[in-house]
Structure 1
Amino acid sequence: MSLPDVRVAGIDWAKDSHAVCVIDAAGEPLERLVVAHSKAGIGRAVAVLRQHGVVGVGIERPDGPLVAGLLAAGLDVFVVPPSQVKSLRRRFGSAGHKDDRFDAYVLADTVRTDRRRLTPLRPDTPATTTLRTLVRARADLVGHRVAMVNQLRAHLDTVLPAVVGLFHELTSPISRAFLAAFPTQDAVDALTLDELAQWLAGQRYRARPAAVIFDRLQAAPAGVTGPAGTALAGVTTAYLGAVTSLIEQTEALEEQIAAALTAHPDGHIFTSLPRAGIVRAARLLAEIGDARGRYPTAAALAGLAGVTPSTRQSGQVRVVAFRWAVNKQLRGAVCDFAADTIRANPWAANLYHQARNRGHRHPHAVRILARAWLTVIWKLWTTNTPYDPTHHNALQNLLTQTP
């Protein structure tokens, strides 16, 4: 009995070019080609797939111009993570070497044999993909800011230690203004109490009396003075400028995130969650997305977020382990949200402390709580309903039982 002539393809994505392999229902290659990562190259790949009547395409990443072109052409796209491709290579030999053309074939053959186990990619709306880009860009800037502040702090520990810890945070406006006004140890040493009080008044700083700030300056270890201190002030100014720029650009992105979240049809769902705020709500929405068909159950969402354990069993041996192959961006967003709800939601606090009392460490207890929250969020998300604590039955039952 002959196999139906169903043709599928695999594409090994790369920065500058993409290897394409089209196979028939028996797994025999029909055409192989390499296309450039350009408008013309993507167009050629789509044309070849259409020419062969391809019905499904396997690829290692879920986004980018290539994926957008495949989806626009009406093709079913199946995402096979690189970690799985690495294991799947061993179907065809024990060496497991990386080769773009071979990986394209592996991806195609995986779609051919395992299509019923794969879920077609369902793209999010442009509003969600835009929000995701903004949120991730902000996270990158925050990471760069933290690194730059650490460099500034390490530099000041030697050059001007009096400023480290002088105010609440080194990134605060008053700390940055002080460094800009008094960038050397000599400038700090020349300050009198009256001059400091006058300067603080000009900055409208009232958190601590000028005398307290002055005493801290006097008690701090001495930094570098003289010509060397003056020269090193240039380094201080450079770090300070970089930190200030990163802070300003982060704030600008946060304004865009707030506007995008307000305009998003699902924004009201995520902003209603306890302690979600703007950035955290936007991050949750961006990482979960708005393609409802992607997560048919709350368990599917929790599994991709990595807040459920991975269970392996062979004979009488059963191992429950940490889940590694997950969407790490989604797990980070959900766990960050869950950890903060402990302070605001009695139900969340109760679940967390129960997990801790069972001997789980903090990260594990947070994942347990995150899984519970995803059940709630999935229900709200699929019914387009904001969170209302009065309708949260588990919370209300706990409040009723509390004396």
Structure 2
Amino acid sequence: MTDARFAGIDWAQDSHAICVIDAAGEPLERLVVAHTKAGIGKAVGVLRRHGVAGVGIERSDGPLVVGLLAAGLEVFVMPPSRVKSLRGRYGSAGNKDDRFDAYMLADVVRTDRRRLTPLRPDTAATTSLRTLVRARADLVQHRVALVNQLRAHLLTVLPGVVGLFCELTSPISRAFLTAFPTQDAVDALTVEELTGWLAGQRYRKRPPEVLLARLQDAPTGVTGPAGTALAGVTTAYLTAATGLIEQINALETQIAQALAEHPDGAIFTSLPRAGTVRAARLLAEIGDARGRHPTPAALAGLAGVTPSTRQSGQVRMVAFRWSVNKQLRGAVCDFAADSRHANPWAADLYAQARARGHRHPHAVRILARAWLTIIWKLWTTGTPYNPDQHNALQKLLTQTP
């Protein structure tokens, strides 16, 4: 292809540097376009006019990538970490320069195209589900951090409430802190008053006498005017945590609806202990572009559940794989770790790995790799998981004790 042309785009928040090169690597056109509808349209027009055979870019999503794919252009994604290491090919300085990076991305597509995998976009349903799942995960992290702050605050101000009920985020814990926000209010409680309040909350898990004894045996918090003032801090933390919990619940409702409507939803909800959010997370991170993972090994490698092997001469090293899709690894390992509580085959594989001396995270990755072989088969054939057709599981179940 002596007349082939290639392009590289250095993506930025407000503008994008573009470089088009010929088959010999000589620049044909350079330009910078704004990150606007008109700018993206101009970029697509330039690339189509040159008839580029491939476009190198550092990210896989966003309006610019959507525009490139809609125009029928073949896009190759190179993460910033790879781009940083590639700069050494073109000089020793390694300095960041938008115009140079755009040229370098184009030249790498020109020279290494056979080693690169074109971007295979997921459907809009999967992309939307991924956004919902990741947004929920972000809010959960914020909730955990905020509840930890609330717990640390209460250990000083109102220690008896910490551990009184199952969790500080539970409705009964939040209701109690709203009704009795100070140490003085807690100290004034009688068995009769607590019994009436618990009845109003329809709480029957523990007797009022037991709860009151725990409150009275706990260290005394801050009393008097200082306690009243600090109750405002308690209320602030509580209000913020309640808001996060409500938004998480709202996202989970959306996730459940999106998962139920997704063509691949039944595949992932059929997995043991997958539930709704976990199944949605697996689906969202694996995606529905079948061509992206041509083999189970390709999927396992991207998920980082296979070791990285390095060999030089007589030296062979097997190490943890760092350069992976961390979101996918988190989803797969979370599922695998819990699946062993519901699936005897998974429990047996995990136990074998632990017996060989592997620590829990390593044993989970071994189990995750085995699960991905099954998930890949289900995913490529569009078939839900059926334990009766899982040969390894059935063989284990029929073994004589």
TM-score range (shorter-chain normalised) is over 0.9
Residue aligning to 1:382: 380
**TM alignment of 1:215-364, pairs within 5 A:** 215-364=213-362
TM-score normalised to structure 1 length: 0.98
Query: How far did 1:402 drift?
Result: 4.2
The answer to whether 1:137 aligns with 2:125 is: no
After superposition, the C-alpha distances for 1:78-106 in whole angstroms (9 at most, x for unaligned) are 01111111111000112212222211111
Question: Shift of the alpha carbon at 1:60?
Answer: 1.1
| Matched AA of 2:139 | L
1:206 to 204, 208, 211: 204
Shifted more, 13-22 versus 272-281: the winner is 13-22
| Structure 1 residues 239 and 23: CA distance shift in structure 2, 3 A | same
CA–CA distance in structure 2, aligned partners of residues 44 and 19 of structure 1: 12
Q: Of 190, 193, 197, which aligns to 1:192?
A: 190
Structure 1 residue 360, shift from structure 2 partner: 1.1
> CA-atom RMSD, angstroms?
0.9
Please say if 1:373 is aligned against 2:375.
Answer: no
- Which residue number in structure 2 is paired with residue 178 of structure 1? 176
Distance 2:99 2:180 in 1: 60
Cα distance in 2, alignment partners of residues 315 and 202 from structure 1: 74
The 3-state SS of whatever aligns with 1:401 is coil
Relative to the length of structure 2, the TM-score reads: 0.99
Find the aligned partners of 2:272 and 2:118 in 1 and give their Cα distance.
33
Q: Does 1:128 align with 2:126?
A: yes
> Structure 1 CA distance, aligned partners of 2:99 and 2:397?
60
Task: Give the deviation of 1:192 after TM superposition.
Answer: 1.0
CA distance in 1, matches of 2:306, 2:283: 20
Question: Any unmatched runs of 5+ in structure 2?
Answer: none
- The aligned residue for residue 86 of structure 2 is 88
Task: Give deviations 1:305-355, integer Å, cap 9, x for gaps.
Answer: 111111111111111111111110000000000000111111111111111
1:336-390 per-position Cα deviation (integer Å, ceiling 9, x unaligned):
0000011111111111111111111111111111000000000000000000001
Unaligned runs of 5+ in 1: none
Matched, 1:34 2:9: no
Residue 95 of structure 1 aligns to a residue whose secondary structure is coil
Distance 2:273 2:81 in 1: 35
What is the distance in 1 between the residues matched to 2:309 and 2:393? 30
Which secondary structure state, in structure 2, belongs to the residue aligned with residue 27 of structure 1?
coil
Q: Distance in 1 between matches of 2:185 and 2:35?
A: 55
Cα distance in 2 between the residues matched to 1:358 and 1:35: 57
How far apart, in 1, do the equivalents of 2:400 and 2:388 lie?
16
From 58, 67, 80, the equivalent of 1:69 is 67
Specify the code of the residue in structure 1 equivalent to 2:200. G
Q: 1:168 aligns with which of 166, 169, 177?
A: 166
SS at 1:31's partner residue? strand
Letter in structure 1 aligned against 2:191: L
Mapped partners of 2:311, 2:103: distance in 1:
31
How many residues get paired?
401
